[in-house]
Amino acid sequence: MQTHALLRIANGRSLQESETLPSWAWAALRRAPWVVVRRAGARDGLIPVGVRGTRRSERLAAWLHRSAVLDSLTPLELAARRDWLRRVRRASLPALAALEGVASIMREHGLSGAWGPCGSVGFELASGVATATVASDLDLMVQPHRPLADAAAAALLASLAQLAVRTDVLLELPHGAVALAEYALAQAPLVLRTPDGPRLVRDPWAQSDRPL
């Protein structure tokens, strides 16, 4: 399963070690039975997932059998659906309202079909449950089809900075992810987020064996 993918499950009992779930996690999964695939190595064939509650402090790492997945949506699929156009809350939430502008920017930069919303906005679009707030940043992932030149990354960052909401963008590359804001600076080394932990790299498109 791809990092950032949102998975629908039956309930909290679908998770491994569900007997140890805190009360807020049970409540969160009753409200919205969705979890997000997190960046971690597989364990005995289980999917690493995260449960999100209503507060920032309510985040839980968990594990899930593939057979427990009832439905899945990736950020790229969420972007392709453009479901935000039908959301009533779009008028009052800057992060939701900005998505059509993001779609336009990605087209201009040749990244149509290579991006999608994550975080609270992605969770809301997938689950249909109000999750984002007026103060929410817009978390995005971009999966370039080919290496992105420094100048192209800087131009993309500048375009997104014109939106009425702060964006936090991860470039998902073959061996992990780097923050667009860091990549655009063209200053090595960069922090590459991998399933085995962060690594310092000079070329994030190539394998590296130097952990932080």
Q: Which residues are catalytic?
A: 137, 139
**186 SS3 class:** coil
Neighbours of 185 (CB within 10 A): 14
Instruction: Write the CA distances from 86 to 64, 81, 143, 150, integer angstroms.
Output: 31, 10, 25, 36
First to last CA, the chain: 25
Interatomic CA distance for residues 58 and 72, integer angstroms: 22
